[in-house]
A and B are shown apart, each in its own frame.
Chain A
Amino acid sequence: SQQGEEDPQALSIQEGENATMNCSYKTSINNLQWYRQNSGRGLVHLILIRSNEREKHSGRLRVTLDTSKKSSSLLITASRAADTASYFCATDDGNNRLAFGKGNQVVVIP
């Protein structure tokens, strides 16, 4: 089955800096999504990028997708303390069944 894998696993940055996370996957996808999770609670959808898209923006978030390399990146600009969370990429097989990576833990230091 498809499996997103994020890199790096943990990231610690100062407030105001940018945070970049990468994700790779193994098979063809319909779309790729990024989710955020605060302290073992429920996941919150951040952004979805379709297989025919290369870049997408939402507020301070920018996602890129390179289907030839089977990889995606999530950029959070001007980070805030409230951005401290775990971030997961997930690939969708087209039927809303997601395969998640292990996640990136991001700590934003005020």
Chain B
Amino acid sequence: ETGVTQSPTHLIKTRGQQVTLRCSSQSGHNTVSWYQQALGQGPQFIFQYYREEENGRGNFPPRFSGLQFPNYSSELNVNALELDDSALYLCASSLVKANTGELFFGEGSRLTVL
């Protein structure tokens, strides 16, 4: 148990729809990162939020957006869904400047786009 919870665990959408995924960080962690993991691949960094501001972004289009709330929970929004968006979406929390470097991952939200 990492203390990071994600919802929903599974969901199915159709192409062109929008989706919102949610993440509750481990207590005391001020940074949340989102990763996309396609089947058989390693996770790919989407973006990171620190103190409610985006703090780095990977090679993902603007239709991938996020939010971090004052309680450090977070949302990932994806608009205009495409078939290739089907993946496991992982949220990870950490404490920046703790100098430990370790990320604590949730169990993920598996998105299927039909």
Contacts and interface: CB of A to CB of B under 8 A. Distances in A.
B58 interface: yes
A1 B58 contact: yes
A100 B38 CA distance: 12
Band of interface residues on A? 20 to 34
A62 interface: no
Contact of A96 (B40, B48, B59, B107): B48
A102 B38 CA distance: 10
Interface residues of B, number: 31
B94 A96 contact: yes
Interface string B78-114: 0000000000101010101000111111111010000
Given A95-B55, A100-B43, A43 B105 contact: yes
A12 interface: no
A101 B40 CA distance: 11
Interface in B31-82: 31, 33, 35, 40-45, 48, 55-56, 58-59
B17 interface: no
B42 A103 contact: yes
Instruction: Specify which of A1, A31, A41, A97 lies most central, judged by the most chain B CB atoms within 10 Å of its CB.
Output: A97
A40 B40 CA distance: 9
A100 B48 contact: no
Contacts of B101: 30-31, 33, 48, 92, 96
Given A40-B88, A48-B100, A88 B45 contact: no
Contacts of A95: 48, 55-56, 96
A101 B106 CA distance: 19
Given A43-B90, A96-B33, A102-B41, 7 more contacts: A31-B101, A48-B100, A48-B102, A90-B42, A92-B101, A96-B48, A103-B42
Interface of B: 2, 4, 31, 33, 35, 40-45, 48, 55-56, 58-59, 88, 90, 92, 94, 96, 100-108, 110
